Amino acid sequence: MKEYSQKVSKSDYPKRIFSGIQPTGNLHLGNYLGAIQKWVQLQDSGENVIWSIADMHSTTLPHDPKDLNDNIFKITATLLACGIDPNKSILFQQSTVDTHAQLSWILGCLTTLARLARLPQFKEKSQTLKNVPLSLYIYPVLQSADILLYKATHVPVGQDQVQHIQFAQELAIKFNKRFGNTFPVPHSLVNGKNKMQVNV
């Protein structure tokens, strides 16, 4: 599926890069090479960047609240140690901003069960669960709210997340058609071997 073309001129929405990371435990080399290293490169190149500790996403599946709280502190410290600089980037905890949940509800009213069912990660993760929580089904709506809330134009992702960015594009277009031009249509920055590639 091809990404949607942005319907407004670039001057209407300045370039802004947004991404989040779940505080689900200790980071490994794959997290560093696949995401954090790219975040630091984007930050240090002078891009307008916003990074989120996506703790609401970490509650999608059963979890220990104490462990989650500890992991939030650990991942924040790790990101800072790896080079995320609060003087160059915005770094924040997702659950401290109420509008993530509020926009997620509004966007949820614009999508359908059938559309969510076509997203690949739900199919994969639900196969291993006896009781599938609703949160696992609808978390792409929250992910879209995360992106659109900050009027992000670009989102660094792995290839496995491109369909979720396409879903966010659809929701941005639907919202804009119904309520007026509000959100840019975000594009994925896909990790290549040596650089980030924009899917257009």
Specify if 107 maps to a domain.
yes
Helix locations, the chain, DSSP H = 29-31, 37-44, 65-82, 99-108, 113-117, 120-126, 134-149, 162-179
Residue 13, pLDDT above cutoff 90? no
152, 100 Cβ separation under 8 angstroms: no
* pTM tops 0.75, yes or no: yes
Specify if 68 maps to a domain.
yes
Backbone angles phi, psi at 19, to 5 degrees: -155, 160
**Binning pLDDT at 50, 70 and 90, where does residue 172 land?**
very high
Q: What is the pLDDT of residues 52-70, one digit of tens each?
A: 999 999 988 888 899 999 9
**Binning pLDDT at 50, 70 and 90, where does residue 133 land?**
confident
Residue with tokens 């790790």: 78
pLDDT score for 117: 86
Specify if 8 maps to a domain.
no
Residue 2, pLDDT above cutoff 70? no
Specify if 31 maps to a domain.
yes
Domain range for 166 is: 16-190
Mean pLDDT of the 68-75 span: 94
Specify if 40 maps to a domain.
yes
Strand, coil or helix: 192: coil
Instruction: Assign residue 168 the CATH number of its domain.
Output: 3.40.50.620
Q: Any idea what DSSP says for residue 88?
A: T
pLDDT score for 3: 44
Specify if 81 maps to a domain.
yes
Specify if 28 maps to a domain.
yes
- Number of domains composing the chain: 1
Specify if 200 maps to a domain.
no
Q: Percent of the chain having pLDDT more than 70?
A: 90
Give which of 22, 19, 24, 29 is closest to 82, Cα–Cα. 29
